[in-house]
Structure 1
Amino acid sequence: MEKVALITGCSSGIGAATARSLLAEEWTVVATARDTDDLAALAEAGCETAELDVTKPAQCRNVVEEVVEEHGRLDCLVNNAGYAQLGPLEDVPTRELHRQFDVNVYGPHRLIRAALPHMREREAGTIVNVSSVSGRVATPGMGAYNGSKFALEAMSDALRAEVAPYDVDVAVVEPGPVETKFTDRAEREIEGLDRSGAYEKLYSFFEDASAVNGVGAVPPEKVAEVITEAAVSPDPKSRYPVGTPGRVGVLARFLPDRWLDAGYRLLQRFS
């Protein structure tokens, strides 16, 4: 019997690439997005598709139940849906911070809670949470996004130990820059902020972020390969950094805070 994967955030980028990658492994893939029109190409490729807004608890439960009812199993949940709310924390309204966590943290939690009873009953399954190098080291102007990914990493660590007795695996994938539309949305989110006027150098830095994000960026297919590796492995790693910036970036957490702070000051001075 084919294994079954449920993937969130498949309208483009990493999610769509992961759906195609797991299809190539002859899995049954249920690709989801808020707008099913964005999934037409994946449906033509052979994916099953479903509407899913990860901020809607009932929809999260229903999609998981429908997958299990139709296929009798759920072998892998890939929590990929997410976005970046950029901006200095003083300028980010609390409502936007809540929205950031609603998608990046509460959304995966909703799906995990829906999927785990079925995985525990079968004593098999893998949960892959797509985090970021930003979930391991924080940077100025990305506090909201950093906070959401740090939270996802911590939840994944706790969950991994909690479900180990049931032979359920939890893996975190940590990309650095990726060649997707992710940056376009991040730029839109920062444009909507009511600026205090105290952080214009920081805003200037992000206005030039297109050049920064292009350095070492990997195609979404590369991230999809790593997610697939975690999904198919009988003993996946706890973490998978992706790309040179991702692998190097996660090591920055071992540097003294004073060194990191000095580096950020230097970057802002030349921005």
Structure 2
Amino acid sequence: MQRVDFAGKAALVTGGSRGLGLLIAEELARRGCRVAVCARDGSELAFAERRLARLTDRRAALECDLTQPGAGRAVAAEAAERLGRPLDLLVNNAGVIQVGPLAALEQDDFRRSWDTMVAAPVELVLAVLPGMRERGGGSVVNIASIGGPVPAPHLLPYVTAKAGLAAFSRGLRVELAGSGVRVTTVVPGLMRTGSHRAARFSGQAPREYAWFGAAASTPLLSTDAGRAARRIVRAAEAGRAELVLTPAAKLAVRLQGVAPATFGALLGAAGRLLPGPGRVAEHDLSGQAAAGRTGRLVPVLTALGDRAGRNANEPGS
């Protein structure tokens, strides 16, 4: 497949005010791409726009809540107008992470994850696809997760939505075969973006924060987010069907494929080692609130992730 040069093209990156989304947007800007980012938090968007201003004059920071009906179509149209040309690249990156045992979760947790990570990408794709097909080209990148093919414990709303996004993305590539529109499914493992500070925690929130933050900050389990962003952009340029990031994620995908029952039993055993809901389960605490109630060791274990979060505009990092 012929490599695409994104110089002069227009891209929209959802969830682009911080974390991996911001790093992808910056990587695209370095390649001469016109970049729009969208997110819900206006102050985070202002910071992201200042960062992008160092790299490009053709940029836009758009405040929106993609879970609202019609928001996807509206922001896609506004991005194209602000960038001065139709969108050539859509990166569906926006996400929410909710950590906790099933007993501490509510139906709204699943609905919020689904609306953010499945319904919103579908609406955005349907908004930009007619123009891409008419022009005979375009790229869609869907940031799924190792939590799609691998049922990670204490992340069930996230796992459910990311599995749905991965299925949509793979099916979309099949449906668009021969149209000139390329679809790339990205399956990252843990990345050091400071995402533990932006996640939401239920059950015994401080203990949930401790294990998740440590795992997301440990080099052997997680990867540098800047390196991940560069690999994602290169995969989009090449039109790759799928990109699995981190050796641990690749191993987990293979184990799930060849021995699902055995691997599922191992994951179940790991889940039983994680905190229970507690006698009075808390619900939906912010990472910043949970972090403030942990012991002295936890900031040491999350130090690399916190540092990455400061670079990627994660809250409280």
TM above 0.5, one fold?
yes
Say if 2:61 is the partner of 1:58: no
Match of 1:122 in 2: 135
Between the aligned partners of 1:58 and 1:85, the Cα distance in structure 2 is 25
On the 8 A contact 1:205/1:268 being kept in 2, the answer is no
Counterpart position of 1:220: 225
Q: Find the aligned partners of 2:268 and 2:139 in 1 and give their Cα distance.
A: 41
Q: 2:235 is aligned with what amino acid?
A: A
- Distance in 2 separating the partners of 1:240 and 1:121: 27
Counterpart of 2:236 in structure 1 is: 231
User: What is the distance in 2 between the residues matched to 1:205 and 1:252?
Assistant: 25
Deviation at 1:9, TM superposition (A): 0.6
**8 Å contact from structure 1 (residues 64, 114) kept in 2:** yes
Q: Distance in 2 between matches of 1:245 and 1:156?
A: 22
Structure 2 counterpart of 1:241, one-letter code: V
* Structure 1 residues not aligned, in runs of 5+: none
Conserved 8 A contact 1:82-1:104? yes
Which of residues 258, 263, 266 in structure 2 aligns to 1:260?
263
- From 181, 190, 204, the counterpart of 2:201: 190
Which residue, 89, 96, 103 being the options, matches 1:76? 89
Q: Which moved more, 1:220-229 or 1:82-91?
A: 82-91
**What is the number of residues matched between the two proteins?**
259
Tell me, yes or no, if structure 1 residue 143 matches structure 2 residue 156. yes
Aligned-pair distance for 1:183?
1.6
d(CA) in 2 for partners of 1:151 and 1:54? 17
Q: Distance in 1 between matches of 2:272 and 2:71?
A: 47
Q: 2:19 maps to what in 1?
A: 13
Letter aligned with residue 67 of structure 2: T
1:85 aligns with 2:98: yes
Q: So what's the TM-score if we normalise by structure 1?
A: 0.87
For 2:210 and 2:79, the matched residues in 1 are separated by: 42
**Between 122-131 and 136-145, the greater mean CA deviation after superposition:** 136-145
CA contact (8 A) 1:89 1:144 kept: no
Unaligned runs of 5+ in 2: 1-6, 275-317
Q: Deviations over 1:77-130 (max 9, x none)?
A: 000110112223343111111011111111111111111111111110010000
Deviation at 1:140, TM superposition (A): 2.2
CA distance in 2, matches of 1:238, 1:249: 19
Amino acid at match of 2:234: E
Q: Which amino acid aligns with 1:162?
A: E
CA 1:250/1:256 → structure 2, altered by over 3 Å: closer, same or farther? closer
CA contact (8 A) 2:19 2:194 kept: yes
Please give the alpha-carbon distance, in whole angstroms, between the structure 2 residues aligned to 1:258 and 1:146: 18
Q: Which residue in the other structure is 2:303 paired with? A: none
Alpha-carbon distance in 1 for matches of 2:211, 2:43: 33
Name the counterpart of 1:44.
53
Structure 1 position 246 matched with structure 2 position 258: no
Displacement of 1:184: 2.1
How high is the TM-score relative to the length of structure 2?
Answer: 0.75
Q: RMSD value over aligned CA atoms?
A: 2.3
Distance 1:42 1:257 in 2: 43
Residue 134 (structure 1) aligned to one of 123, 142, 147: 147
